[in-house]
Amino acid sequence: MTQNHTMREIAFREALREAMSEEMRRDPNVFLMGEEVAEYNGAYKVSQGMLDEFGAKRVIDTPIAELGFAGIGVGAAANGLRPIIEFMTFNFSLVAIDQVINSAAKMMSMSGGQYSVPIVFRGPTGNAGMLSSQHSQNFENWFANTPGLKVVVPSNPYDAKGLLKSSIRDNDPVIFMESELMYGNKGEVPEEEYLIPLGKAHVKKEGKDLTIVSFGKMLCDNPQTGGVVMPAVAELEKQGISVEVIDLRTVRPIDYETVINSVKKTNRLVIVEESWPLASISSEIAYNVQRFAFDYLDAPIRRVNSMDLPLPYAPTLIEAILPSTKRIIEASNSVLYR
């Protein structure tokens, strides 16, 4: 946490709004574009009041045409502007994925460094309750698998603001993934300006017996909005197990150094990720830990992911498929041979 700052408690959506508004005041090249971001004040009220302050040339409502407005954003970024493109959900980004993967991510290398694409694609990721398969997917690992992109997944309002400001200032395209369930979550955020560097994990809690690595909604402090890691940690602590918790913050680049240093201390690792297990962020972390810290491991690495299925509509099935506090506790006890 930033030192010597005046703290106040605000909602996740307010932290995002402050980040965008501060950067738009600072730099006239920054603008926001997406469905319902202007007249409706944002589908999730993240951009509330921004149209009144910045006007219709900088807070721009679009048709339901992700491919079109993502492409406009990429072209604007290549010509010196700094767009923030809001997807109502990253499930809809699939309509625009050609612009993200084949244009934004590759423009710098294909132009031999002549063009940079300083653009932020942001919006909700993951499940948000009973919305069924097409509106409940996690694509963090998809985008993180693309050279040229940076991928940010904050877990709290403080990180959301500091990371979004850094993302807007970054000269590379950034995928900034939020959670629909977390927009109302409150947390302490400084009144003064601050930035959080991309690519640096946060040791959320220190411990000595076990490392748990996660990111995004899984690590939020509110179990009612998807936070499953910290309740599991609290239960494990009651059992006398000292848990170190690492919040990745960004999943491209991944801060392997912080993870590996923690495993060298605790000798055990559990990775919690909302996405499906195959070719996931947790797979990549597990590979790198066994590659660079194999001799320090006292047990096989365990992963807690969603089941390898499309997310159903029924709440009982959702509960069975998603990572849960119970499954995290079971995985933790497994690596401790308890």
Residue 240 has which token pair? 């006398």
Is the four-CA dihedral 130, 150, 86, 10 of positive or negative sign? positive
Structure tokens at 229: 């890691």
CA distance 245 to 1: 15
Which pair of structure tokens corresponds to residue 70?
A: 């993502």
Could you tell me where the DSSP H helices lie in the chain?
Answer: 12-26, 50-54, 66-78, 97-98, 107-110, 140-144, 157-169, 229-238, 256-266, 281-293, 315-321, 325-335
Cβ neighbours of 78 (radius 10 Å): 19
Catalytic residue among 66, 178, 273, 274: 66
Determine which one of 18, 86, 135, 202 is catalytic.
135
66 is catalytic: yes
Dihedral sign, Cα of residue 333, residue 334, residue 337, residue 338: positive
Query: Which amino acids are annotated catalytic?
Result: 66, 135
